[in-house]
Every structure is written in C-alpha cells, then in structure tokens.
Amino acid sequence: MSDKNVRILVLYYSMYGNVFKMAQEVCNGVSEVENAQPILRKVPDLLPEAVVKKNTDIQRAIEWQKDVQVATLDDLRKCDGLVLGTPTRFGNMCSQMRNFLDKTGPLWLEGALIGKPAGIFTSSVSLHGGQESTCLSAMLTLLHHGMIIVGIPSGTPELMKTKTGGTPYGASHVVGLEQNFKELSEEEKVLCRFLGHRVASVTFKLKK
C-alpha cells in the first residue's frame, strides 16, 4: 500500500475552541500512524450573527479556526475512518453536528460508511455533565451507518489517572465553570492522541 493513503476525517464543531483544540490533538495522533493522514473539517455553524457579535470568546475561537475547511458530504464519503468531536449540550451532541449528520441520508442509501471505523470526542463544562451520554448517543447514528466503533480501553494509564476528562467511550475534556475555554490537561491530550492513533491504526489494518 502506498504512503499516507489511509484518510481519517476529523470532523468537529466548536463554539469556544475547546473541541477544536481536542481535534488538533486527535490529528496529531492520526499522523503518528505511518500510512495515515488526518483531514480536519468543521461542520457548518448555525449561530446567529448577533450572538457572535456580542461574544469575544466566540470571536476568538472563530479566528483560531479560520483556516479549517467546512465539511461536505464528500469528505465523509471519501474517508476511510472518522473521529467525530462535539461539545456536550444537555448530555447530547450539539445542533450543528446533528444538523450535518441529518443530511447524511444519501450516504446511508449508498452504504458509504459501512465498515469504516469511528471514534468520538467531546468537551463539557462539568465533570459529570453528560460526556459519556454524548459519546454513547453519538455512536447510535454511526452504528446506523454501519460504522465500527473504536473506544479507549479502560485500563489505559491516562484514563486511570485523569482528574478531568477521559472516558472509555471516547476522549473528553472538562472546561470548568470559571471560563469558556480551558487548555487541555496532559492526560486529556494523551487520550485525544490515543483515540486518533487507534482509529487510524484500526482503519489501516482493515484497509490492508
């Protein structure tokens, strides 16, 4: 198999930049796998202009992500594996990601995602704010598409040590109440990279 022909789509939405920082770490993990290349894409936003205008934290996050291309259905069609990131909203994925996924009917009809490995990552304000339910419920759509779910083995050292994010169902980050954005902890970074690496290596083995 020729070099870097395992395409891992890292598909995410991020309003304050936390999930974006996670997505970058996931990409780093994908890149560690010899034959894999990360394709970073954000789903289209649904935020009203008026909300953005009033919030400098959102404006900062938009600036960070200005060079990331907006995802198309073709990105999903062409990928070999997927790592999907969303903020936790009421214990579930955000509407931007839901909106994008609800447009994947044509891909379902084609069976375009059947047999492709997929992992999930999320960020939430509070430690027990629904990260696990977000990861688990996001899996339902991916299972309908016939994707093969890849998690994080619960004995992974950083998962045992972390005092903030990290779940066996996907990588996660806890922002806390003090601010809208918080840098990832070392354990959270490692677990994001681990997930990217694992999805990429499982995809490589299946493709081979």
Ligand X SMILES: Cc1cc2nc3c(=O)[nH]c(=O)nc-3n(C[C@H](O)[C@H](O)[C@H](O)COP(=O)(O)O)c2cc1C
Binder among 120, 175, 192, 195 for ligand X (CB under 6 A)? 175
Interface segment toward ligand X; rule CB under 6 A; list 99-107, 120-128, 146-154, 156-164: 120-128
Tokens coding 49: 């202009």
Asked if residue 24 binds ligand X (CB under 6 A), the reply is no
How near is the Cβ of 197 to ligand X at its closest, in Å? 21
Position of minimal CB gap to ligand X: 129
Question: In angstroms, what CA-CA distances link 44 with 11, 25, 97, 127?
Answer: 11, 21, 8, 27
Rounded distance, CA 6 to CA 207, Å?
8
Binder among 8, 9, 10, 17 for ligand X (CB under 6 A)? 17
Asked if residue 195 binds ligand X (CB under 6 A), the reply is no
Tokens coding 27: 């990409």
Measured over the CA atoms of residue 138, residue 141, residue 144 and residue 145, the dihedral's sign is negative
Q: CB within 8 A of 150, min separation 6: which ones?
A: 117, 118, 119, 195, 198, 199, 202
Write the interaction track for ligand X spanning residues 123-162; mark x where CB under 6 A is met and - where it is not. xxxx--xx--------------------------------
Chain residues in the site for ligand X (CB under 6 A): 14-19, 87-91, 123-126, 129-130, 175, 181
